[in-house]
Amino acid sequence: MPTHIVVAATPTSNGDLHIGHMAGPYLAGDVYARYLRATGASVIYTTCTDDSQSYVVSTAHRLGTTPAALCTTSTAAIQRSLAAMGISMAGLPPIGETYRRSVLDFATELHKAGRFRKRTVRLPVATGTGRVLFDGLITGTCPVCLAGSCGGACEACGHPNNFDELLDPHSTMDPGGTVSYQDTPILVLPMEEYRAELTAYYAAREGHWRPHAMQLIHELLAKPLPEVPVTIPGTWGISAPFPETPGQVLYPWIEAMPAVMYSTWWSAGKPASDYDEHWRREHGAEVVYFHGYDNVYHWGLMDLVLLLAHGDRYVTPKVNVCNEFYDLAGEKFSTSRNHLIWSVDLLAEVPRDLVRFHLALTAPEQARTNFSREGLRDTGSRRLGEPWNALAEAMSLALNDVTGSLPVTPDGRRRAAAMLERFRGCYELPGFSMNRAAETVLTHLTRLRGLAGDPRITLGDLLLEVRTLLAGAAPILIDVAERAAAAGVDLSLAAEVPHTVAVFDLPRLPSVDARDSVLAATR
């Protein structure tokens, strides 16, 4: 069976993860990875901090620290947040010499194969400091949608802007200073040379991506494809080893593809093989990405072209699962305006299963959605916690003094199989949806509460349906699932529906009301 490689967008190490990040790629990738494991699949779920990004430089400047120090504290914070949310990764790989060598091997092979071109481009420069401005070092107006945007790609419309394309540019580190331009020779990767492969790739994925993200791919393919910078004048990042561009660094986004190959290798326990072994085509791994709409250009085009530029050496992703923005009280999460809730703060106050379930239920899968504290409280108590614990109580009463296994009727097996099929439909690609999986849990919870105590259903049939509900909820409700698994309950989502079911106690969910000071205090 081929290994599944599930990749969540690489977090920039310029701060911690807030619940908008979590409700985006990290929880979704985790739920998908946990589902796959419950079907018996071998899964590596991974990501890698993006230390070379220019946003590390601009944030460090704003905070009055160094980029290196910011990376260290941010990586530790991100690691803590992922662990606190129960994101089932091996951890974050170290960004050290092995990482650097992996990135350079990847880029040097493309250089040797003649994939890069030398171009003289017009780059914006902060007049006062002479610093070349790109990505997080520059803000202005997006030339495509006219929203405010940083360099590189626009968060609002998702379209790229490179070199001198951003309108009304300002340096983020010197907002009052002027910006001039200088002609600079750099290396680029011309994406237009891969148009035929890209067109065929996306023709095969019609209907497999969420519509908004696929619309952006169509918009990008309808125009001449940009030339991606491979090197850029800068002081932070990995020195580019190419004779054409002495003194330049690798453009940070060039690192992401080898970075996740390296993190896959590291997450597999650093086997005695090359960093890119798991991604080689002959092993037939199935790769799935989880990332935000604002990264469609990067993961959907740039990183795909970086794979294609290696010929047929690597697998390409089966599908990208793209999320939209999560709002807080009707406005976008914002670190600079402190309009956010850090994951660790929320998890310190509200039991993890309730947080995961509410984020799964409300995550922005097809359009922007909103997080509210009232909504979390309502989900945690009225919609999920109370009916779940009422069902657990009813089952305890019904099973009082019953031990061993109970027989299941053919009708009971059919009903359990139908439930299993609905859950699989929520978790399988391309229709993967945490929203629908969580809604399916609530639907069956209401139904099974009604059935508990109904003389028309046998106890064995009811118990099998409750077990199927628990197994279907397990990729989201991980602590309840772990307690059940520790007690020997079979939570496999692949097994045939059995003819008997072993008696078990449905673990209770903790209450949201007992520990809600963050919810109350910050409303």
Tokens, residue 470 = 């628990």
151 or 234: whose CB is closer to Zn ion? Answer: 151
Q: Please, what is the minimum distance in Å from the beta carbon of residue 74 to Zn ion? A: 27
417 binds Zn ion (CB under 5 A): no
83 or 156: whose CB is closer to Zn ion? Answer: 156
Sheet holding 286-292, edge to edge: 43-46, 4-8, 286-292, 319-323
Q: Please, what is the minimum distance in Å from the beta carbon of residue 152 to Zn ion? A: 11
CA 23 vs CA 141, 219, 497: distances in Å:
28, 26, 32
142 or 260: whose CB is closer to Zn ion? Answer: 142
Stretch that binds Zn ion, among 130-138, 152-160, 334-342, 438-446 (CB under 5 A): 152-160
17 or 166: whose CB is closer to Zn ion? Answer: 166
124 or 460: whose CB is closer to Zn ion? Answer: 124
Tokens, residue 73 = 């504290």
Q: Please, what is the minimum distance in Å from the beta carbon of residue 337 to Zn ion? A: 20
Stretch that binds Zn ion, among 2-10, 145-153, 455-463, 490-498 (CB under 5 A): 145-153
121 binds Zn ion (CB under 5 A): no
Q: Please, what is the minimum distance in Å from the beta carbon of residue 212 to Zn ion? A: 14
Inter-residue contact 251 to 303 (CB < 8 Å)? no
Q: What distance in Å separates the CA atoms of residue 262 and residue 256, rounded to the nearest whole number?
A: 10
CA 71 vs CA 19, 106, 333, 396, 493: distances in Å:
20, 23, 21, 50, 39
Stretch that binds Zn ion, among 124-132, 147-155, 182-190, 247-255 (CB under 5 A): 147-155
Inter-residue contact 52 to 310 (CB < 8 Å)? no
Query: Torsion angle, CA of 32/36/42/48, rounded to 10 degrees?
Result: 0
Q: What distance in Å separates the CA atoms of residue 491 and residue 420, rounded to the nearest whole number?
A: 11
**223 burial level (CB within 10 Å; 0-12, 13-18, 19+):** exposed
294 or 365: whose CB is closer to Zn ion? Answer: 294
Interface residue with Zn ion among 63, 145, 487, 494 (CB under 5 A) is 145
Site track 157-196 with Zn ion (rule: CB under 5 A), x = hit: x---------------------------------------
Pairing of strands 138-141, 148-150: antiparallel
Q: Please, what is the minimum distance in Å from the beta carbon of residue 143 to Zn ion? A: 8
Stretch that binds Zn ion, among 87-95, 155-163, 322-330, 475-483 (CB under 5 A): 155-163
Q: Please, what is the minimum distance in Å from the beta carbon of residue 429 to Zn ion? A: 29
Q: What distance in Å separates the CA atoms of residue 154 and residue 159, rounded to the nearest whole number?
A: 6
211 cis-preceded (ω within 30 degrees of 0): no
Q: Please, what is the minimum distance in Å from the beta carbon of residue 219 to Zn ion? A: 11
271 contacts: CB under 8 Å, gap ≥ 6: 265, 277
Q: Please, what is the minimum distance in Å from the beta carbon of residue 147 to Zn ion? A: 5
Q: How many residues contact Zn ion, by CB under 5 A?
A: 7
Q: Please, what is the minimum distance in Å from the beta carbon of residue 300 to Zn ion? A: 16
143 or 177: whose CB is closer to Zn ion? Answer: 143
Stretch that binds Zn ion, among 45-53, 109-117, 136-144, 254-262 (CB under 5 A): 136-144
510 contacts: CB under 8 Å, gap ≥ 6: 351, 353, 354, 385
Footprint on residues 20-79 left by Zn ion (CB under 5 A): none
Q: Please, what is the minimum distance in Å from the beta carbon of residue 142 to Zn ion? A: 3
CA 228 vs CA 106, 119, 231, 322: distances in Å:
16, 11, 9, 22
Stretch that binds Zn ion, among 35-43, 91-99, 156-164, 360-368 (CB under 5 A): 156-164
Stretch that binds Zn ion, among 117-125, 142-150, 322-330, 503-511 (CB under 5 A): 142-150
- Per-residue DSSP letter, 25: I
154 binds Zn ion (CB under 5 A): yes
219 binds Zn ion (CB under 5 A): no
Q: Please, what is the minimum distance in Å from the beta carbon of residue 155 to Zn ion? A: 8
Q: What distance in Å separates the CA atoms of residue 480 and residue 486, rounded to the nearest whole number?
A: 10
User: Closest by alpha carbon to 161, among 186, 181, 135?
Assistant: 135
156 or 503: whose CB is closer to Zn ion? Answer: 156
Stretch that binds Zn ion, among 68-76, 148-156, 233-241, 258-266 (CB under 5 A): 148-156
**Number of CB atoms found within 10 A of residue 260's CB:** 25
Stretch that binds Zn ion, among 149-157, 178-186, 231-239, 505-513 (CB under 5 A): 149-157
478-486 and 352-362 helices, crossing angle to 10°? 130
Q: Please, what is the minimum distance in Å from the beta carbon of residue 236 to Zn ion? A: 26
Q: Give the chain's length.
A: 523
Residue at 124: amino acid letter: P
149 or 231: whose CB is closer to Zn ion? Answer: 149
Interface residue with Zn ion among 110, 121, 156, 417 (CB under 5 A) is 156
Q: Please, what is the minimum distance in Å from the beta carbon of residue 151 to Zn ion? A: 12
DSSP 336-395: TTTB--BHHHHHHHS-HHHHHHHHHHH--SSS-EEE-HHHHHHIIIIIIIHHHHHHHHHH
Q: What distance in Å separates the CA atoms of residue 440 and residue 473, rounded to the nearest whole number?
A: 9
156 or 344: whose CB is closer to Zn ion? Answer: 156
142 binds Zn ion (CB under 5 A): yes
Interface residue with Zn ion among 83, 121, 144, 221 (CB under 5 A) is 144
Inter-residue contact 340 to 329 (CB < 8 Å)? no
The binding site for Zn ion (CB under 5 A) comprises 142, 144-145, 147, 154, 156-157
